[in-house]
Structure 1
């Protein structure tokens, strides 16, 4: 009995597939040997290194974009303007504070002078007021006196004080007035009296009147 054509063709196709697989395995094995052999004694074989990819420079330039530079410049100018405004504001506040203090001192001086206009003698508060000189080394040579006022009564009181600046002969060269208002019982305050005369000749501060009202 003769075999059919289909049965005769199967062994042929099977042998062809097997042979092709063998060729692929041999080729893969050779490639694996070349790629993995790195620890043998033969150092004369070729070596392989991965070539680095060149940098992509198309998207970069040597200067920042103009919009970014403009934004940075505006930020710097804004910061400078803010600092300048803050400094000017602080200076204005300080000038306003000094002006306010000066105005209050002048007001107190006028009140004290008015209170002492009709006072006979040296006033009723000499025992509650004392005048001490301030060292000229700390005032730039200007004659300055500290007026120590202490309310020794049991009630809230205000004080008006007259200080004369006299020369070595006892002659009154300048008169100043100073006042303090609403001192609580036992409270002490120390306003300053500053002479407007030049440093020379040297003057001495003298308590002339002190009135409690």
Structure 2
């Protein structure tokens, strides 16, 4: 026979089943929320993936492209043409300057003698009276600073002192005259020889050759 508990004292109520039920309910809610979240994340495309799919490359505007490139191309072509013209002009000027320098180095009175030769040949008909007294040979460009020059040799075969004048044409491969030069020597004694230079002021290209046109003794 179990003794009766003393009055005034109660046993504490058992709460384990209620707590367990609450925990179970919370776990169920959490699992459901996680399931919904996973489903939402897997079904919806990411922001980055959405942009990749929706964005499409845009074809370039051909008319705009041509307008933008045409002007620079024209400018480059114009600059190239201007550069070529400047180079040709510089080459011609350089050839003329070198010829002048070479003439000046040969003799101080070269220009005066050449001008006298030009004047003497103004009224000469035909090839002149001294073609047999004049000869001409080429001068290597390595000795003239790249200038086209020929050595004109005068020989006085008379018994008197004489002046000589010659006309030299520089011609191209077709025989067309590109430049004419006059060369002379003065007071050449009988039996003596003298050498002068016929010098072209033309640029190196096209290639030219020297041709003796007239020779006059006076």
Task: Compute the TM-score of the two structures, normalised by the length of structure 2.
Answer: 0.50
Residue 202 (structure 1) shift: 1.3
2:147 aligns to what?
142
User: What's the C-alpha RMSD, in Å, of the aligned pairs?
Assistant: 1.7
Alignment size in residue pairs = 115
Q: By how many angstroms is 1:142 displaced?
A: 1.5
- The runs of 5 or more residues in structure 2 that have no matched partner are 1-103
- Residue of 157, 163, 183 corresponding to 2:162: 157
Task: Give how far 1:200 is off.
Answer: 1.4
Q: Deviations over 1:88-128 (max 9, x none)?
A: xxxxxxxxxx69944x1111111100100000000000000
How big is each residue's C-alpha offset from its partner over 1:158-201, in whole Å with a ceiling of 9 and x where there is no partner? 10111100011111000000110111111000101110001111
C-alpha change, 1:100 and 1:130, in structure 2 (3 Å) is: closer
Quick check: 1:143–1:202 contact (8 Å CA) kept in 2?
A: no
Using a 3 Å threshold, how does the CA distance of structure 1 residues 195 and 159 change in structure 2: closer, same or farther?
A: same
**Residues 12-55 of structure 1: CA deviation (Å, up to 9, x unaligned):** xxxxxxxxxxxxxxxxxxxxxxxxxxxxxxxxxxxxxxxxxxxx
> TM-score, structure 1 length as denominator?
0.51
Q: 2:183 matched to 1:167?
A: no
- In the TM superposition, what are the counterparts of 1:1-213 in structure 2 within 5 Å? 101-102=107-108, 104-213=109-218
Determine helix, strand or coil for the equivalent of 1:119: coil
Aligned structure 1 segments of 4 or more residues deviating by more than 6 angstroms: none
User: Matches of 2:142 and 2:106 in 1, distance apart?
Assistant: 28
Partner of 1:73: none
**Separation in 2 of the partners of 1:107 and 1:144?**
18
- Unaligned segments of structure 1, at least 5 residues: 1-97
Structure 1 residue 138: Cα displacement:
2.1
Q: Distance in 1 between matches of 2:111 and 2:194?
A: 17
